[in-house]
Structure 1
Amino acid sequence: MSKQKRLWNEAVQLIKVTTGEDAGGYPIDPVESSREVLANELSVKRSEFYAANQSGMRADVVFEIHAIEYEDEKLLEHAGKRYEVIRTYSSEPEYIELTCSDISQRA
């Protein structure tokens, strides 16, 4: 089965959260940095949806990006929503799929 055409027509913000300590050894407030990459928005596969649900998570959306652009970010923003990256998967060396859970949907 051939994969659907990749359009790279969705802009997403990959968000890295950095924590640390000041010179006195006290924790500093987390600092967020983000960068925009182009992505393809994919549907959540049925098996991923149920596997996430069994783990107490929600799988709301999957974004495919170029693997070289991913630096293990745990947060992502798209269309005004913030997501947590709950799983990564690479079926091809050039691309990585980020399965995401909508943070605003959590109780």
Structure 2
Amino acid sequence: MRHKEVIHLISSAISADSIGNQIETDTERKVFANEYSVGTSEYYNAASSGLRPAKMFEIYTFEYRDEAKLRHNSTTYRVIRSQGRGEKTILTCERVAADG
């Protein structure tokens, strides 16, 4: 299967400004992925732990650097599980609620 979906893996770094306040800076990297729907059993197993998986993406393992968030089609997701399978890694994600 071809990786036809574009996702942006988001890594965060914390730095200090001139007066010592901590500032979180996000860095995005574009990678190609396969998109999968979350299966019923996986959804309910995660829901029992308070998680709400919404999407799954398969990417090449060498492209994943333990990022905690990703963006797909203007929606930000939090990676709740990464599962390595040889040269591919599956990322299970839940949607990040908007502020406010």
Match of 1:58 in 2: 52
Q: Shift of the alpha carbon at 1:20?
A: 3.6
Q: Shift of the alpha carbon at 1:69?
A: 0.2
Match runs of 1:1-107 below 5 Å: 6-21=1-16, 26-90=20-84, 92-104=85-97
Secondary structure at the aligned position of 1:29 is classed as: strand
Secondary structure at the aligned position of 1:38 is classed as: strand
Distance 2:98 2:51 in 1: 10
Q: Does the CA contact (< 8 Å) of 1:19 and 1:27 recur in 2?
A: no
TM-superposition CA deviations, 1:64-102 (whole Å, max 9, x none):
000000000000000110000000112x31000000001
Secondary structure at the aligned position of 1:11 is classed as: strand
TM-superposition CA deviations, 1:16-54 (whole Å, max 9, x none):
011144687x34210000010000001112222112101
**TM-score after normalising by structure 1:** 0.84
Q: Does the CA contact (< 8 Å) of 1:81 and 1:104 recur in 2?
A: no
Structure 2 residue ranges without an equivalent (≥5) = none
